[in-house]
Amino acid sequence: MNAAAAFDFSEQVVLVTGAGAGIGQGIAAAFHAARARVALGDLREAPLKRAAAALRDRVFAQTVDVRDEGSVTAFVAAAEKELGPVAIVVANAGIYPNTPVLEMDVAEWDRVMETNARGVFLTCRAAARSMVARGAPGKIITISSGAYASGRPGAAHYCASKAAVVMFTKVLAMELASARINVNCIAPGFVRVDSEVSPLTEEYVSTLTRGIPLGRAGTPADIADAALFLASPYADYVTGEVLGVNGGAMAGRAHLPLSTAAAQKKESTR
């Protein structure tokens, strides 16, 4: 189902970071299909240009380093000058290198935390300041990960940063409630994106997919559908929440067999 057809964001300006590829590109495309004006930001110029060219009209694109306060402020200001006041922001930009703690240097830790946590803070703050100054309601969506609640080897910095995003979202939701600004978080499970964005081994992919009750990896469109809902009037009474979009992966260990011989025998006779 094309969820964008069920929503109408005409005349609304949506700002998405990390929009050059992967989940961010999927979210930007979904809002554009729902008739929004969309501002795309990404650190990488080439994929950003490709993503913007695919949308063609009602779009603004600018490179942005979400770790840098001045860069984020300039991006939000330029987007509003070009498209109008931002009503919806999706703080999606993030990175996920894999390095065991004992092999990790401080520079890598800082780079992940600065991009994934500081970047969300700066993006949300800049957009919220604009909304509050105008006295306008708005919707802010952060992108965390199932990793905020379930660790994995090699991802200490990533998991820590995504846990930080969840708690930041909850506090910001409380602080902005009186301004009629809803703040919610999407926690994607495993999402299969272009190999340039996420160079995963097939062993990792197949092992991870076995633990998903719905039997498949997620897609950027699955995450985009959740973003459309949270940005819509249907979610006006939803704030400070974490919406898991993971095919049931966080429900438990779905890849395990039945735990007793009797149960296994009963299952095999059905």
Residue 9 has pLDDT above 70, yes or no: yes
pLDDT tens per residue, range 83-97: 999 999 999 999 999
pLDDT tens per residue, range 210-247: 889 999 999 999 999 999 999 999 999 999 999 999 99
Confidence at residue 43, expressed as pLDDT on a 0 to 100 scale: 98
Q: Tell me which long-range contacts 73-78 makes (C-beta under 8 A, separation of at least 24).
A: 73/126, 75/15, 75/39, 75/41, 75/126, 76/15, 76/123, 76/126, 76/127, 76/130
pLDDT tens per residue, range 28-62: 999 999 999 999 999 999 999 999 999 989 999 99
Confidence at residue 204, expressed as pLDDT on a 0 to 100 scale: 79
Residue 84, domain member (yes or no)? yes
At residue 269 the predicted structure's pLDDT band, cuts being 50, 70 and 90, is low
Asked whether the beta carbons of 28 and 51 are under 8 A apart, the reply is yes
pLDDT tens per residue, range 141-200: 999 999 999 999 999 999 999 999 999 999 999 999 999 999 999 999 999 887 555 567
Confidence at residue 238, expressed as pLDDT on a 0 to 100 scale: 98
Confidence at residue 258, expressed as pLDDT on a 0 to 100 scale: 76
Confidence at residue 240, expressed as pLDDT on a 0 to 100 scale: 98
pLDDT tens per residue, range 79-133: 999 999 999 999 999 999 999 999 999 999 999 999 999 999 999 999 999 999 9
Residue 2, domain member (yes or no)? no
Q: Which amino acid appears at position 196 of this protein?
A: E
Confidence at residue 257, expressed as pLDDT on a 0 to 100 scale: 78
Confidence at residue 206, expressed as pLDDT on a 0 to 100 scale: 81
DSSP one-letter code for 5: G
**Whole-angstrom Cα distance, residue 51 to residue 65?**
17
Catalytic-residue membership of 234: no
Count up the domains in the chain and report the number. 1
Strand order in the sheet with 138-143: 59-63, 37-42, 13-17, 86-91, 138-143, 181-188, 242-245
Confidence at residue 60, expressed as pLDDT on a 0 to 100 scale: 98
Residue 205 has pLDDT above 90, yes or no: no
Confidence at residue 143, expressed as pLDDT on a 0 to 100 scale: 98
- Terminal C-alpha separation, the chain: 33
The strand pair at 13-17 and 242-245 is best described as: unpaired
Confidence at residue 83, expressed as pLDDT on a 0 to 100 scale: 98
Confidence at residue 264, expressed as pLDDT on a 0 to 100 scale: 60
Residue 59, domain member (yes or no)? yes
Residue 64 has pLDDT above 70, yes or no: yes
| CATH code for the domain of 28 | 3.40.50.720
Confidence at residue 55, expressed as pLDDT on a 0 to 100 scale: 96
**Token pair 């949506």 is at which residue?**
14
Range of the domain at 59: 7-268
Residue 1, domain member (yes or no)? no
**Whole-angstrom Cα distance, residue 68 to residue 79?**
17
**Catalytic member of 148, 158, 204, 234:** 158
Identify the CA nearest to 236 among candidates 181, 198, 195, 199.
181
Backbone φ and ψ of 86, nearest 5° = -75, 125
